[in-house]
Structure 1
Amino acid sequence: MNLEVTIEDARWQRLEPLATRAIQAVLDYSGLDDDLCEISLLGCDDARIAELNSEFRDKPTPTNVLSWPAEELAAEVAGQSPVKPNPDFTGEIALGDIAISFDTCAREASEAGKSMDDHVTHLIIHGTLHLLGYDHIRNPDATLMEGVEVEILGKMGIDDPYCMS
């Protein structure tokens, strides 16, 4: 896979290996040829992600992860799987961009009693699924997306992040 990682916050020392593993798991699950897929990833802090959240979502607050799909792939019918992306004229599949905030991820992991690595892996999977057309606005879509996340994480040996036990 062609993963372009930009680190704006030096605390993201482990972002690239975590992201590579998480994105690879999503591409494997989706049956996509990882040699064709391109993703850009930004590791930033709360101030930067708040700027992006304000600019693109009109929400001037920090969040954990944002994604910008290169192509609209969402299913028209709620709860159905998204359309698979196709290669462009160059033979590549540009999936889009993801930004992730260290501050919010660290705080959420601490509050949930989870390891930072597991939480970041989950959020990279979540962001990558958004690039592939998954969403959680409609309830059936949220159920589908969460199920896919849990399945991929399970294959990676990571506990269900939605289980509150």
Structure 2
Amino acid sequence: MLDIAIEADSEWDSSSGWEALVRRAAEAAIAESLFPHLASTERSVELSVRLTSNEEVRALNAQWRDKDKPTNVLSFPLAEADELEAEAHDGPELMLGDIVLAHGVCSTEAKDKAISMEAHASHLLVHGTLHLLGYDHGDDDEAADMEAREVRALARLGIANPYAEAR
């Protein structure tokens, strides 16, 4: 069972239905990962999402990544690879980790791409969830694999390939 804890600052429009959007994005990312069982297991699987300000993300980015600037999304994985692979139904709760989105950066990027804030946030949530599941983009092969998973997850959500125009 996928449990999602979400906390949103006031600048994130509460009428957008962030809880449902976060759930759909996380489930789509999990479905395209090597661990699709995590979305439907009886074991409690928890994901925490914080929708916050550029200032808070800048502080976290400085503290954890030594980059004193805001970024669109940060991911803080908690689960180890063997925990992700385990299908134990009676095991302890699996804490995937935390995803943090910066409103100002996300909003600016969405406007620059001429897409809705919800579509862009969905992409960033898929990206962040894949990071929590052990995916990265540190080299060309990893980046290509992660990007392909993102594109497939977004297609599940009815969102166009965000990388198509960049090429």
TM-score (norm 2): 0.85
Q: 1:21 aligns with which of 21, 24, 34?
A: 24
Matches within 5 A, 1:142-157: 142-157=143-158
Note the C-alpha offset of 1:87. Answer: 6.3
The Cα shift of 1:90 comes to 4.0
Partner Cα separation in structure 2 for residue 8 and residue 93 of structure 1: 26
Report the residue type matching 1:56 in the other structure.
Answer: W
Give unmatched runs, 5+ long, in structure 2. none
Contact 1:86/1:93, CA 8 A, preserved across alignment? no
1:32 to 34, 37, 42: 37
Q: Distance in 2 between matches of 1:114 and 1:16?
A: 20
Contact persistence 2:77–2:133 (CA under 8 A): yes
> Which AA in structure 2 matches 1:3?
I
The within-5 A match list for 1:1-165 is 1-13=2-14, 14=16, 15-30=18-33, 31-34=36-39, 35=42, 36-73=44-81, 84-86=84-86, 90-164=91-165
What is the Cα-based RMSD across aligned positions, in Å? 2.1
Task: Tell me what 1:78 maps to.
Answer: none
Once the two structures are superposed, what CA deviation does each residue of 1:62-103 show, in whole Å capped at 9, x if it has no partner?
000000000343xxxxxxxx9944368743221001100111
Greater percentage in helix: 2
Checking the alignment, whether the CA contact within 8 Å between 1:87 and 1:93 is kept in structure 2 is no
For residues 89-144 of structure 1, give each alpha carbon's deviation from its aligned partner in whole angstroms, at most 9, with x where no partner exists: 74322100110011111000000111111111000000000000000111110000
> Where do 5+ consecutive residues of structure 1 fail to align?
74-81
How far has the Cα of 1:17 moved from its partner?
Answer: 1.8
Contact 2:79 2:94 in 1 (8 A): no
C-alpha distance in 1 between matches for 2:12 and 2:123: 18
Q: Provide closer, same or farther for how the CA distance between residues 85 and 12 of structure 1 changes in structure 2, counting only shifts above 3 A.
A: farther
Letter in 2 for 1:86: A
